[in-house]
Amino acid sequence: MVLKIKMQCCDKKPIIVLPAGEKLCKRHFMEYFENKVFKTIRQFDLIGKKESLGVAISGGKDSLTLLHSLNKLSKQNPKIKITAILINEGIKGYRENTIKTAKKFCEKNKIKLNIYSFEKEFGMTLDQMLKVLDAKPCTICGIFRRYLLNKKSKEMHFTKLATGHNLDDEAQSILMNQFKNNIHLSARLGPKVGIKQSNYFVQRIKPLYLCTEKEVTTYAFVNKLLDNFIECPYAAESYRAEVRNMINDFEAKFLGTKHAIVNSFLQILPDLKKKFSNGEVNYCKECGEPASKDKCNACRYIDKLNNIQ
């Protein structure tokens, strides 16, 4: 399903050129972007009239743009209460800087911020884990981040958890799952994450789903949400980075590639969710969190860390 938004034009200096060729000045780009986010929320029924909404942030461009947008929505409807949640993995020279940015933003906008760390929850920072575990950084980080986000969101009784995933992120995930023959994982994608609702999962949503990374970055800097863009030092080592670079090359040569990937995927997503909807949700016998087997991946790695220490 394609989201259509009417464009406005003026004679002022443009700050961005959209894939369809529209050139927008600062004011019209702001209107375009915010309308796009709010229409995405309505189109995919992401947020109800009353929510206790958790917003996963890192202090980067995507999450701060998301929090900034949802804070506007909360001011329009006070029944939508937002709380920020940040996971500190413990990446020296990187995470401490983004945490400062996140704290500054939340203090300025009077948004409650809850911070949880790998070190406190698991006994080690990500940097320390990688010295003793034979695994890729993004694999370990992803497992423990998802684990903590879901667990803490349940403890804080969030009705939903919003994440800053944008259109580029989704296009990458779609192709990654295709390349690795993980179609069952693709069934969990989309603006609303997951195949079916469960009390053991806090529903995750992606309000920036149809916004490109270029648009999000532009919005973040136009609104002075951050001074500079810092990428995770481990990102370059990931499989995702290879796929991202490939898609960016295609987009540069064939404009509209990213939108085509996501829009075509949205057409088959209902069938994917239906196909895999009969599978039962298993739960970890040690921690009670959702798991594909008797023990979740987080507990498996915790056992490995305990055996090493």
Residue-wise pLDDT tens digits, 54-105? 999 999 999 999 999 999 999 999 999 999 999 999 999 999 999 999 999 9
Q: What is the pLDDT of residues 156-174, one digit of tens each?
A: 999 999 999 999 999 999 9
Residue with more model confidence, 236 or 9:
236
Residue 198: pLDDT band with limits 50, 70, 90: confident
**Residue 228 pLDDT more than 90?**
no
CATH number of 46-280, picked from 3.40.50.300, 1.10.287.3610, 3.40.50.620, 3.40.50.970:
3.40.50.620
**Residue 8 pLDDT more than 70?**
no
CA angle, corner 164, sides to 221 and 237, nearest 5? 90
**Residue 4 pLDDT more than 70?**
no
CA dist., res. 30 & res. 157, Å (int): 33
Q: Transcribe 64-100 into DSSP letters.
A: HHHHHHHHHHHHH-TTEEEEEEEEE---TTTHHHHHH
- Tell me the sheet residues that pair with 16: 24
Going from N- to C-terminal start, the domains of the chain cover: 46-280
190: its two tokens: 């989309």
3: its two tokens: 């989201």
297: its two tokens: 């991946």
- Model confidence, pTM: 0.92
